[in-house]
Structure 1
Amino acid sequence: MLEAHRVSSLRSRWEVREDDEPLLVLEAKGWRSAVRYTLDGLDYEVQSTWTGTQYTLTRAGSELARAERVGRKRWSIVTPEGTFHFRRRSIWKADQEWVADLETEEPVGAIRRTGTWRGDAEAELPGMPTPLAVFTLAVVLLMWEQAAAAAATT
């Protein structure tokens, strides 16, 4: 299980732990919804389009994965190995469920808020490779942050 704990309320920065051990720090980059992190000595970058509905995971300039339709009830992550489907748990909660396919009722895993005010979260994504699981968690954290910013401007 991955856990993300917001380090500062003023900046988009989360400490990510795996099974209670420090794994990495997600650090905001620039004005767009983007973060950088280092995992196993490799540098990764997560960037969104200006609309915030698509995110890419890159390493050394090469795209490794792409999240599509982010913010919708149903969205997906596309990789060369396959597609991972997600859905919002309910209209009242921002929690996300990983499902085998869009018609399946039973979730494979989930990403849940664990702190309403700080923006903490936990991700149970069994069997998903760690770089992809961190990307998925980063996308959801950035999606929640973007939604909170939009709500604050209305």
Structure 2
Amino acid sequence: MRPMLEAHRVSSLRSRWEVREDGAPLLVLEAKGWRSSVRYTLDGVAYEVQSTWTGTTYTLLGGDGSEIARAERIGRKHWSITTGDEELHFRRRSIFKADQEWIAEPGSSEPRGTIRRTGTWRGDAEADLPGMPTPVAVFTLAVVLLMWEQAAAAAAAT
């Protein structure tokens, strides 16, 4: 299992991305409300990513409303995703770039995977997350895209 996901922004006016897995269309991430959440369908299952009003915690909900995963400390240098009994650790690659690295544990020097911008103006991204299950990889990509949207909105407001 090696999901290589690419997100291409469909419109500059709306938060909507077409996500491809290994070059093949997979799903569309569609922002809902105030751009703090997205909905999508993967393998016939509806998912929703919801954010707290501060944007520091995101939750992945299944079609029945059950919590599947939770991302915490979003926007910090180090943040994490908890899925059932597993905790996945991430860090911002550098203070000058918004790219993120998936690491084995805080303090690890070698990344297990990356999420990086591939288009500065359009908000396109690529996620190379080897071994991560596709539903969790899509959630991770959605969280990073929403984090970047939130940072861009905050910068524009100042």
TM-score by shorter chain over 0.5: yes
- What is the CA deviation profile of residues 4-44 of structure 1, one whole-angstrom value per residue up to 9, with x for unaligned ones? 00000000000000000000000011125100000000000
Q: CA deviation at 1:68?
A: 0.3
Cα-Cα RMSD: 0.6
In the alignment, the residues of structure 1 paired with residue 85 and residue 25 of structure 2 have an alpha-carbon distance, to the nearest angstrom, of 27
Q: TM-score, with normalisation over the residues of structure 1?
A: 0.99
Contact 2:35–2:146 (CA under 8 A) maintained in structure 1:
no
Secondary structure of the residue aligned to 2:40 is: strand
Contact 1:69–1:75 (CA under 8 A) maintained in structure 2:
yes
Question: Which of structure 1's runs of 4+ aligned residues deviate more than 6 A?
Answer: none
For structure 1, the 5+ residue unaligned runs are none
In the alignment, the residues of structure 2 paired with residue 150 and residue 104 of structure 1 have an alpha-carbon distance, to the nearest angstrom, of 30
Identity %: 81
Which residue pairs with 1:66 in the alignment?
Answer: 70
In the alignment, the residues of structure 2 paired with residue 25 and residue 32 of structure 1 have an alpha-carbon distance, to the nearest angstrom, of 15
Note the 1:1-154 alignment, pairs <5 A. Answer: 1-59=4-62, 60-154=64-158
In the alignment, the residues of structure 2 paired with residue 69 and residue 99 of structure 1 have an alpha-carbon distance, to the nearest angstrom, of 15
Q: CA deviation at 1:103?
A: 1.6
**Partner AA of 2:57 in structure 1:** Q
How many pairs were matched up?
154
Contact 1:54–1:67 (CA under 8 A) maintained in structure 2:
yes
For structure 2, the 5+ residue unaligned runs are none
Deviates more, 1:25-34 or 1:54-63: 25-34
Contact 1:15–1:22 (CA under 8 A) maintained in structure 2:
yes
